[in-house]
Amino acid sequence: MYGTMARSKRLSPVLKLAESKERHAVQVMAKARQRLNYYEEKLNELRKFYEEYYNAYRHNQSGVISATQLQETQKFLRQLDEGIAVMSEKVTGQKHLNLRDEQQWLLAKNRTDALDKLITKIQGFERNMRDNREADEVDERSQHQKPKI
């Protein structure tokens, strides 16, 4: 079967597979970026809420608040601070995952590009071979024809 099929045609399924893997890597990378954006958005919301709550607490400190209210406010601020730390770790972890996903995509893209370039080069070689073969056939036919006088 492969004896008569051009080498560039035999490589076509390999290129299609590489392109499919590259598309999948792009999808994985896009989802990872969405997760990172989501985590960063939540982190910014937590930081903003902490800042607003802390500023309100400091502003009200001039008034009289009970020891229980003070303890509850400080406890809540600690919990917010812990939530910010957890979300910061998620953002950092997701950044590392995104970097890994980008590297995987780049590898897939480089494979696809290399295969595409190889197939183009082989097609050029096959075209040259075909042209040379046709030229040889024309030369051979012209040599076998009797000269007309």
Domains within the chain, CATH numbers bracketed: 14-108 (1.10.287.1700)
* Rounded distance between C-alpha atoms, residue 126 and residue 145, angstroms: 29
For the whole model, what pTM was predicted? 0.73
- 39, amino acid identity: Y
Residues 6 or more apart whose CB falls under 8 angstroms from that of 143 comprise none
Query: Rounded to 5 degrees, what angle do the CA atoms 99, 105, 106 make?
Result: 90
pLDDT (tens digit per residue) in 101-129? 999 999 999 999 999 999 999 999 999 99
Above 70 in pLDDT, residue 4?
A: no
Nearest to 102, CA basis, from 1, 23, 31, 25: 25
- 81, amino acid identity: D
**pLDDT: which is higher, 145 or 122:** 122
Task: Give the other-Cβ count within 10 Å of 84's Cβ.
Answer: 16
